[in-house]
Amino acid sequence: MLLPLVLAFALSSPDLKDGTMIPKAFAWNKDGCGGENRTPRVAWDAAPAGTRTFNLTVVDHDASKPGGWTHWAVLHIPASTRTLGDGPVSGAVILRNSFGTLGWGGPCPPPGSLHHYTFQLRALDARNRTVGLAKIVPVYSR
């Protein structure tokens, strides 16, 4: 059995940068976090050959919840899509985040600790195998 080659491609954001602090405007707006919970925009370059869909997840693995705290999960993003933000994408499925709401749920870690937010975009082929992987990891603390 041959496994597909997983290729790297680029994920970027005009709102967030890898390794830098997430602006407060994108933080959760409840539980003492005081943000605006604005959805960050993300973009990516050409998909690896064979891509049928993308799945985007944003997870804080520094959270004490087993498996991390999911802040955003969007599945079945069409292969022709190159950006994602607050608006709907035809065919995509938006899942509930760990706050229990649909869509983006911004950072809201306990005071004093630095948390890393892994934005991971998987390119999937017709058999739902990963053929490409892109990520950025901005940080947040309060």
pTM of the model: 0.93
**Ramachandran assignment for 137, one of left (phi > 0), alpha (psi -120 to 50 degrees), beta (any other):** beta
Which whole number is the average pLDDT over 23-40?
Answer: 95
Which whole number is the average pLDDT over 57-68?
Answer: 96
| Cα-based angle 55, 107, 34 (whole degrees, multiple of 5) | 140
The CB density around residue 13, as the number of other CB atoms within 10 Å, is: 20
3-state secondary structure of 121: strand
Res. 77: pLDDT tops 70: yes
Q: Residues 92-116: pLDDT tens digits? A: 999 999 999 999 999 999 999 999 9
**pLDDT value of position 1:** 47
Sort strands 115-124 and 139-140 into parallel, antiparallel or unpaired: antiparallel
Place of tokens 């496994």: 3
Where in the chain are the domains? 7-140
Nearest to 118 by CA among 74, 50, 56: 56
Domain 7-140 CATH class label:
alpha beta
Q: How distant, in Å, are the alpha carbons of 23, 63, 68, 107, 110 from that of 114?
A: 14, 10, 14, 11, 9
Distance between CA 123 and CA 25 in Å, rounded? 29
Which whole number is the average pLDDT over 50-73?
Answer: 96
3-state secondary structure of 25: helix
20 Cα distance to chain centroid: 15
Average pLDDT, the chain: 93
Q: Could you tell me the pLDDT band of residue 47, with boundaries at 50, 70 and 90?
A: confident
